Each structure stands twice: as C-alpha cells, then as structure tokens.
Amino acid sequence: MKFQGIYPPVITPHKEDLSIDRDGFVTMIEHLIDAGVHGIIVGGTTGEYYAQSKEERVELMKLASTTIGGRLPLIVGVGAIRTEDCIEYGELARENGADAILVNAPYYACPTQLELAAHVLAVDRAVNLPIMLYNYPGRTGTLMDAEFFDRVGHSRNISAIKESSGDINQMHMLARDYPHITLLCGMDDQALEFFAWGAQGWVCGAGNCLPKEHLALYQACFVENDFRKGRRIMSALLPLMRVLEQGGKFVQSIKYGCELAGLPAGGVRRPLKDMTKEQKRDVEVVIRTLKTTIANIQDSQAEEGDSNVVALNA
C-alpha cells in the first residue's frame, strides 16, 4: 500500500451522555471523503480509542468500513499494552475490511528496542496487513530509534511511519537512513519541515475540522513543490498548531473546531475534561483567522495564474 496525502484520524462524536453518536460518526466520515482526504484512520488518539471498550472499538471499525465502502483506504489503530490484544485488534481490523493498521509502542510498559521490535513483528506476522508505525514517545514512553528500525525495516509490511516525537533529528534520520519507510508528518507544528525533507503525507488531527486547509499545504509542498506558497500557508496554520501541540487540549480543540464547522462532535470522555469558555474563544479566533488567511492566499495564487495566462495569450 502506498501512503500519500492527508490522513485524518477521525474523531468519535458523542451524545450528551458521552455514548457514541454513531450517526455523527458516519457524518464525519462522509464529510472527510467529500473534502478530498486520501485515507481515514479509525482508532487513533484523536478518536479517543483509549477511553473505549473493546466492543466500541470493534463496532467503530465495522461502521467505518461499511461507510467508506472502498472509496478510500481505511487504517485502523490497534494500540494496546499487551501484544496479544494488539494482535486481536489487528485480526479484527483485517476481518472488517481494513486496508492497513496503525501500530504504536505499548504504552506504560516501556519496552527496550529489541522488545518493541519483537512486539511489532509479532503483530505483523499475525495480521499480515500494511503497517503504519506510530512513533509518539510523549504518549507511549518509548522512542522508536535506529536499533528498532534496523530490526523491523526488512518486513515488506512496514510501509510508513507517523513520526510524532517532535525531535527534528529523528525526522532527519528517518528521511536519510530509512527512505523505504514512507515518512508521514505526525507533529503538526513541523509539517512544513517534514514536507521539505520528503514526507509524502500528513496524519493530522485538525484535518477533521479543517481538511481543505491541510490539503492546501499538501498541495503546495508535495504536489506543486512550491515552498514559498507552503510557507505562507504554514504561517497561517501555526497558531492553531501551537494550540494543538502545546496547549494541553489537543482532542478538545479539534472537537470544538468540528462544532464550529457545524459537524457532530460532543464532549470528551474522562479522564479528559472540556475546555473553558476562554479556551474555546481562543480556538475560535485562531480558526477564523487562519481560514480567511489561507483562502486569501489561494485566491491570490489563482489570480496570479490567470494573469500569467492572459500575458502569454497577449
């Protein structure tokens, strides 16, 4: 499987009692497909999988598969502490039509690099689907380093990595030393740097509420190789990226962004809590400003292109 483009980890909308809003979940997937994203991830951090029962996780992967109906690739997160549980989620994902699985380090256990490699390869052998690795030591407690990649990199299923360590040297290492593993941005405030170093896509939580703006950066940097335009778009996105990566309310901010866009979202499950009115107001201002700025950038680019066509035809 070739990973290329914008891959939002879809949120899980909730009703007032924080039960899953299944109709809202379908609405979110249709919204992302209509926006033109390149694939959808279910069971990611943004989807609050860690606060869901096994039955809920399986139901959502089934519902996503049915809703997507083969229109886009479906990637299912199989995160858990026990290797056996990750394998079970992976097998269930395969049985329910997943095109690939998202595999992170088992959180809290803090395995060594050799133990982590053995864990991933065990999941690989059992599930036999393309794998998008997910390196996020800030949440799992374990960094995937060179010793790990040397062990797992020979598997034909290790196709891509969502790199979320925040360490620019880690990103450089992956781009230079492991080019056979497709590099995907997983650190939102470094998206421009990732594309400059050859990343082929972006796994972006805020793609839920702002898919077109994320697609705009991908289009400018990866498709058009226009990093001058890309810098302008990224500059507009940065205030939101800082809120997400440094504000301590990652999922809540994305869900509120969806609410502002008229999309189903609802509250977050414990142990998280909703944002204050002041925090919501800050997110609203940031989103409103960046949408206007990026729209102006795209309009000015289109006008410049039209002017060039007129000049050539004159």
3-class secondary structure, 311: helix
Specify the DSSP class assigned to residue 152.
Answer: H
* Both tokens assigned to 190: 């470094």
Specify the DSSP class assigned to residue 9.
Answer: B
Count of residues making up the chain: 314
CA neighbours closer than 13 Å in the CB half-sphere of residue 140: 24
Contact 218, 6 (CB under 8 A): yes
Could you give the CA distance from residue 103 to residue 123 in angstroms, rounded to a whole number?
9
> Among positive and negative, which fits the CA dihedral 34, 39, 41, 45?
negative
**Catalytic annotation, pick one of 49, 89, 134, 218:** 134
Could you give the CA distance from residue 181 to residue 305 in angstroms, rounded to a whole number?
36
* Both tokens assigned to 53: 């029962």
Write the CB contacts of 52 (distance below 8 Å, at least 6 apart in sequence): 12, 20, 60, 269
Could you give the CA distance from residue 242 to residue 235 in angstroms, rounded to a whole number?
11
Question: Does the active-site annotation cover 162?
Answer: yes
**Catalytic annotation, pick one of 7, 49, 89, 162:** 162
Longest dimension (CA), the chain: 68
Could you give the CA distance from residue 79 to residue 134 in angstroms, rounded to a whole number?
10
**163 φ/ψ angles, rounded to the nearest 5 degrees:** -95, 115
Q: CA triplet 123, 135, 116: central angle to 5 degrees?
A: 45
Burial 141-159 (b: 16+ CB within 10 A, else e): ebbbeeebbebbeeeebbb
- The catalytic site residues sit at 134, 162
